[in-house]
Homo-oligomer: A and B are copies of this chain.
Amino acid sequence: MAKSGAGHRPIAPGATLGILGGGQLGRMMAVAAAALGLKTHIFCPDADCPAFDVAAARTVAAYEDEDALSAFAAAVDVCTYEFENVPGRTAEILADRVTLRPNAQALATAQDRLIEKQFVTGLGIATAPFRAVDSEHDLAAALEELGAPAILKTRRFGYDGKGQVRIQPGDRPGEAYAHLGGAPAILEGLVRYSQEISVLAARGPDGAFAAYEPCHNEHRDGILAVTRVPADVPAALEQQAVEAARAIADALDYVGVIAVEMFVVEGGVAVNEIAPRVHNSGHWTIEGAETSQFEQHVRAVCGWPLGATGRRGRVEMRNLIGSEIDTWPAVLAEPGAHLHHYGKLRARPGRKMGHVTRVWT
């Protein structure tokens, strides 16, 4: 019996929050939970993961290890996750034993680009045009309909620009299809957009909803580079963006922080992607908002009142990617710059190593 609905015991400080995943998101979530008097128990296959440094308890095991998952579920009072690629069977095992928030439906929806886009358009919210692609033949037909350029993406397990290939006019569909190794895919038509924004919002088990102001995102090589708040968008568009996030959260009976990436297009927004978790484009909230996205997520997951989402000034968050982390001494020496170093051992190219936030009041 899934416990993600009503009927669970109230969570109080002293309880243990279980977190699947031990990256920087889990690390910052654990720190936020500690400020509220919670213990955290991190489950991660990687013994060197960043979040273990700040966790009260650790499980090093594969996400498929059913015994380890059962023991973990028994040791925690409520459970959440820091990444959307939690295997469905893993979510099922946990949800049978402990309150899992956000719920398994949110995971299933966000894990699959096709299901996600069908879900969003089903709510009457725009996305890029898309077609399911399960064969070279599908791809050719989809290209016929949507035209090139277009982007072929795997339905599952893509992040930071991985698992996708751009198709230009004249490219041979067969090569692009082969590039993804025959995985179930989706072809997305290009949308003309003026900027990329995201809405970070939280929803509680009672349906309470609180959004941060939409933020403007800039990517480099498919990876988020800079987030700026406020995004320079009209009030009506901001409202439309927040209402889209609310509709998505309500439809999923969502509990926790959700991030909805959107394109600003002619006449409104088109949803690009849903992340059922705290999100890189919300890191600015640590210093830039009344309540950080991490505290907000913990509040929601525990069934506590959501915090105030007001902004403290004009905010800029820059990721420190790969060797950019070597600039940490300069960041520390800059008055008002807030360094976040994730404590990762190796600075591989493209790896998110830290970030720096600046707030102008």
Contact = CB atoms under 8 A, between A and B. Distances in A.
Given A37-B341, A299-B332, A305-B333, 14 more contacts: A12-B328, A13-B328, A13-B343, A30-B54, A34-B343, A35-B341, A36-B341, A37-B343, A39-B53, A53-B56, A54-B56, A308-B335, A310-B336, A312-B312
A263 interface: no
A54 B37 contact: no
- Nearest 3 pairs between A and B by C-beta? A37-B341, A53-B56, A308-B335
Nearest to A39: B53
A256 B52 CA distance: 27
A332 B308 contact: no
Contacts of A72: none
Contacts of A14: 343, 345
Q: Size range of the interface on A?
A: 35 or more
A152 B312 CA distance: 47
Contacts of A36: 332, 339-341
A304 B290 contact: no
B290 A308 contact: no
9 contacts: A13-B328, A27-B34, A34-B53, A35-B340, A37-B328, A38-B343, A54-B54, A299-B332, A310-B336
A342 interface: yes
Contacts of A304: 329, 332
Contacts of A342: 37
Contacts of A38: 343
Interface in A245-275: none
A34 B37 contact: no
B305 A332 contact: yes
Interface string A9-41: 000111000000000000100110011111110
A361 interface: yes
A282 interface: no
Nearest to A354: B37
A290 B304 CA distance: 28
A113 to B, nearest CB: 33
A6 to B, nearest CB: 19
A142 to B, nearest CB: 45
A55 B56 CA distance: 7
A199 to B, nearest CB: 20
Contacts of A340: 35-36
Contacts of A310: 336
Nearest to A339: B36
